[in-house]
Amino acid sequence: MKAPLKGKQILSDNQVLEIINVDRFRPTLKCDLFVPSYIQSLSVATEFIYSYVLERFPKDFFESIHVSGKNIIDDFRRFNKGEYPVRENPAVSIAYNLQYDFNDNNLDWNWLSTNKYLRTSAWQRSFFKCPKRGLYIGMDLEAMLINYNFKFRVNTRPEQLDLYNRIRKVFRLGCTETNDIDCDFHLDRKLMTKVAEAAGFAIDTDGQILDPWNFTRFLNAHSQMPILYKLRLINQHYEWFLRMRNLPVHLDFQNPLDVDDGQQTGMDTTDYTIEFQIAVRFPAPRTFAFYNEGNWKHEIYTEPNEGITIYSMKLFDIPEENYKGWPLYGHSNYMAEKEEVVVKYIDIKELFVAPVDIKVGTSLDDLIQDSLNNFVSPDVFVEIAVYTNDLLVHGSGRVPIVMDWEKRRIILPDGIPDSYFYLAIYVDRKYVNDKIVEITNANYNRVMLSKMKSDEILEKKVQEYYNHDHIIEKEKFPNGNLKKKKKAQFIIKIGE
C-alpha cells in the first residue's frame, strides 16, 4: 500500500512511502534563452556609418555608391542615369570586415556559459516586467568591432587633392570619438510568440500572433523602452523591434589616409583613389532571456511545527502595480528636517529626472512639462502614492494627497502625525513609450544620433548672453568697468 507524503506520518510495515513531485528538488531552468540576429546589428552599424560619412559631403557629390554585401539587384530598384557596369566618378565603395574574435578586453567572454541565465532568475534587471502574469524579459549586450574601408575614386589629381583636404577637415584624423545613438534591435519572433502565448493572446498553428497590434500595446504597457512593430526589410515581414536610446558608439580614425597615383592607360592617368579606414565599436544584443514564473514556480509544503511560534509584522505593502495596472516606476522616502514641526509639502522634482533620459529630452519631467504645456493633467499617466508608518491613516498607511504639478510638489493634508514618508511613483508605460516614439520619430528610422538636450540648453544660453549687434568702441571705459544698469555685451574694440 502506497501512502502519499502529507505532513508528518507514521508508516506501518505494509506501507510504502511515495514522494510526490520529485523534480522540485532538482535544479530547474528558470528562463528561456533566445539568441538574436547578429546580421541585424551589423546592418544597423553599416547604416549608421554610411550616413555618418556621407553626410559630411555635399548632396549628390558621388555619382555612384557601392556597399559591399548588399543585394546584387539593389541598384536597379531606382531609375538613375548612367551604366551600372561602369561606375562613374566620383564614386565611393564601402567594404567592411568583422573581427570575429573581438571580446572587448575580455569583457564579453562567456565565462559561465548559458547556466548563468538558465539557472538564475535576474528578473530585477529586466526591461519588460509584468508582475501580474509573472512575465519578464531581460537582455545582455556585447560589443562588436567592425573595420570599415571607404574607397573614394575621382578622375583627376586636382580632384584627389581637394577631396583629401576635405577629408582632413571634416573628420578627426588621428583621434577617436564617441557618439550616442538611438537604434532598433530585433526581437526574435519565437520570443514574441512565447510571450504572447503566456500572456493569453491567440496564436495560430503556424505560430503567428493573430492580434499583433493589441499585443504591441500590451508590450509597451509593461516595457521600460519602446517596442515597435514595423516592417523588417530583410524578409519583408512585420516584426517587433526594441528601441534603445543613448547607446555609445566608438569611432577610431587613427589609421592614416592611403592615397595612390591613379591608373595609367596609355598617355592618360585617371581613377585616383583615397582609402579611408574607420574602426567602429558598435553595441549589439548578446542574448534575450524570457522569465516565466508559471514554468518553474512550485508550491513547497512544510511540516506544521507547534513547538516554536514565529511572529512577523508587515507595516504596509507597496504593490508592484496600482489599481490601473501601471507598473512601479520608482520609489523613495522622505524624512522631515528637524526644524519642520509639520510637513506641509514634499518637493519631488528630482525623482522625475533620470540621468540617462535627461540627456535626450524624454525624461519623465519633460513629459510632464509637455502635458502641462498642452493643458493636459499629468494625472492621466502618473500616479503618486505616499505611505506612512501610522496604520491609523485610512487603515493602510496610505496618505491622501494633492499634487501641485507646476512645482512638482506633494501637498499633504493637515494633521499627519509622522515625519517619515515612503513615496511610490506609478507610470502608464504605454503612454510614455508612445510619446517617446512620437518625439523621436522612431517609426521612420532605425538608427539616428541621439539628440542631446544638454547641447541644446548650452546653445540657448550662448544665444541668450551673446548679442549679435556687436558694439564697436573706439575708446576704453574710463574705469575699465561697465556702467550700472547696462546689459553685459560682447565688445569688439579697435586700435586707438
According to DSSP, residue 209 is labeled B
- Whether the pLDDT of residue 300 is over 50: the answer is no
pLDDT bucket at 379, cuts 50 / 70 / 90 = very high
Convert the pLDDT of each residue in 307-329 to its tens digit.
544 434 344 567 888 888 888 88
Share of the chain above pLDDT 70, in %: 69
Q: List the Cα angle 48/50/52 in 5-degree steps.
A: 65
Convert the pLDDT of each residue in 9-22 to its tens digit.
555 555 555 544 44
State how far the Cα of 351 lies from the Cα of 333, in Å rounded to an integer: 11
Q: What pLDDT, on the 0 to 100 scale, is given for residue 29?
A: 57
Convert the pLDDT of each residue in 20-68 to its tens digit.
444 444 455 577 888 888 888 999 999 999 999 999 998 888 888 888 8
Q: Name the most confidently modeled range: 210-214, 305-309, 340-344, 443-447.
A: 210-214
State how far the Cα of 170 lies from the Cα of 151, in Å rounded to an integer: 16
Convert the pLDDT of each residue in 392-409 to its tens digit.
555 667 888 899 999 889
pLDDT bucket at 252, cuts 50 / 70 / 90 = very high
State how far the Cα of 88 lies from the Cα of 85, in Å rounded to an integer: 9
Q: How far is CA 477 from the centre of its chain?
A: 54
Share of the chain above pLDDT 90, in %: 28
Asked if the peptide bond before residue 90 counts as cis, ω within 30 degrees of 0, the response is yes
Compute the average pLDDT of residues 104-123.
67
State how far the Cα of 387 lies from the Cα of 319, in Å rounded to an integer: 12
Compute the average pLDDT of residues 453-470.
48
Q: Retrieve residue 314's grid coordinates.
A: 508587515
State how far the Cα of 260 lies from the Cα of 274, in Å rounded to an integer: 7
State how far the Cα of 208 lies from the Cα of 190, in Å rounded to an integer: 9
Strands (E), 234-316: 237-252, 258-259, 263-265, 268-270, 272-292
Q: What pLDDT, on the 0 to 100 scale, is given for residue 214?
A: 93
